[in-house]
Amino acid sequence: MADKTPLDQLRLAALSAGCAAILVDGRGKILDINPAAARMLAIDAKAATGQHLSLVMPQTRVMETLLTGKPVEQQLQLGEALQVTVSYRPLPLAGIVNGAVALCHPTVNPPQEGEQTRCLQMLVDIYEAILADIPIGIVVVDRAGQVVMMNATYGNILAIDPSTVVGQPISKVAGFSRLPEVIQAGTARLARRETVNQQEIIVTEEPLNNAGVPIGGISKIMPVEGYRTRDLLRMFELLESKLIFYKEEIKSYWTNKSPFSEIVGENLQFIKIKRLGDKVARGDASILLVGESGTGKELFAHAIHHASSRSAEPFVKLNCAAIPENLLEAELFGYEEGAFTGAAKGGRAGKFELAHGGTIFLDEIGDMPFSMQAKILRVLQDRTFERVGGQTPICVDVRIIAATNQDLQELVRQQKFRLDLYYRLSVITLELPPLRDRRDDIPLLVQKIIADMNAKYRLNIKRVSADVQAMLVHYSWPGNVRQLQNVLEYAFNLAEYGEEEITVEHLPPAFLREGAPDRSMDLEEVMARAEREALIRALQATGGNKQNAANLLGIHRSAFYQKLKKYGLK
């Protein structure tokens, strides 16, 4: 394995595991599925690779693990008969999470001893691949508390040769370790301080589970003395340089195609905007995305980042409207220890620091407080800032993409937005058209959303009815593509297994009330069709019993008979 890259080693470990395993990158997209997992989920591993895990495993909690860096376990119902237990393990377990592995097993059939060992070995292979020589001590033990892997840093701190302790009880190798108790209790012990060889260390110990069954444990240790916040940041930078599989995956994914090809739309004006976005992504100028809510500004920001030379570096997003004004500065620039009441020990890096080398996306920039705008302007001009409570300038190399649904020029006239900042942000402006101006894209968007929802809800909807198609095309869509997604997701929640078509009765009542089609459609006619179909379905569901059908619809029997007469139903 020594000749392979960390990415190759991770894939080899996942594919060769005896237990069902799925490897995902930092965004939750599938890198590899081993044969056991493909059989369990009844999916084509090749076709699923590159898709988000939620498309093959609805309601997955993998993003919780990716965002928090903590192990998560859940039970999922796949189809009507299969219930599985899934254990998500973050990769790595050392401060920066660039992926995860999902270990699956049918809930009714817990893993056997041999399979537990194979699952543990797969995790060990992964840890060895990416944690071999980072400056944080790592040791993995089996369920009996015997060492199965120890990295060089752990050995150096204990002044022992890691290769000589494999198979020995961890309590004998590291007397301070509480891994056997952690495995037995099934709960982690975090940030405990111990003294080893006359130096103070921080110890974190966690159990490793597969389908709810303990298979081992992992411990991380790090000396306290000599490590300042900046030292830790340098450690994590080193770790990030080693954990390249997320970045390499993104690179390889976009190698042969433009990220903008993934944005659905063949409207001529929209194609021009996509081509312009693809062209300006190659430079490094600030970009301002303008458009109504739901037009896809964040989607464009992601595409610009992935089409740029910064694609292998972080993409960091901040919604300026979602952060209280008194917290926004700390969120953007970070803070030093003791900067304010409640500040985390050791301080914290801000969004600009995290985005170094990559792109920062400032959404809803029009809602940024006026007092904060001058500080953003300084970063744009000097590429430096200070943390809250700090005095040391921090240099950053970031590209700024900003987005707004407001008229910034009008805000400038009202003296609510700085003119100099507006000019800095709008070096290149892309104005995204509302959905009502590209109605010819609606059928394409509907098919894409149907495909996504089928995977999410495990249905087999193939189309929308002609009535629904007409309504969708002629509606004004004040909420744009996001509103279209919400309307169709509502319909999917009302659809039954076996149905292949979305009809008017599946649509949200609010949409039917508000979504009066243009002159080419008659809303009363559409509502009447929906009401007639509801009557028919109620009669079918009750075997023709009119009283029960009326009760099912929640209307009086006499009103039910009047409606039957109105629509000529017998």
pLDDT digits (tens, 9 = 90+) for 52-71: 888 888 778 888 777 777 77
**SS3 assignment, position 276:** helix
Residue 304 pLDDT greater than 90, yes or no = yes
What pLDDT is stored for residue 302 in this prediction?
92
What pLDDT is stored for residue 534 in this prediction?
76
Task: Give 132's pLDDT tier (boundaries 50, 70, 90).
Answer: low
Integer CA distances (angstroms), 241 to 96, 134, 221, 313, in order? 11, 11, 21, 10
319 or 516, which is more confident: 319
pTM: 0.51
What pLDDT is stored for residue 518 in this prediction?
46
Could you give the CA distance from residue 160 to residue 195 in angstroms, rounded to a whole number? 16
Task: Give 434's pLDDT tier (boundaries 50, 70, 90).
Answer: very high
What pLDDT is stored for residue 56 in this prediction?
81
Q: Are 511 and 555 in contact (CB under 8 A)?
A: no
Q: Are 475 and 507 in contact (CB under 8 A)?
A: no
pLDDT digits (tens, 9 = 90+) for 236-252: 444 444 444 334 443 44
Mean of pLDDT over the chain: 79
What pLDDT is stored for residue 162 in this prediction?
84
pLDDT digits (tens, 9 = 90+) for 463-473: 999 889 989 98
Peptide bond into 92 cis (omega under 30): yes
Task: Give 33's pLDDT tier (boundaries 50, 70, 90).
Answer: confident
Domains and CATH numbers, the chain: 6-223 (3.30.450.20), 257-431 (3.40.50.300), 438-566 (1.10.8.60)
Poorest-pLDDT segment among 223-237, 302-316, 397-411, 494-508: 223-237
Residue 229 pLDDT greater than 70, yes or no = no
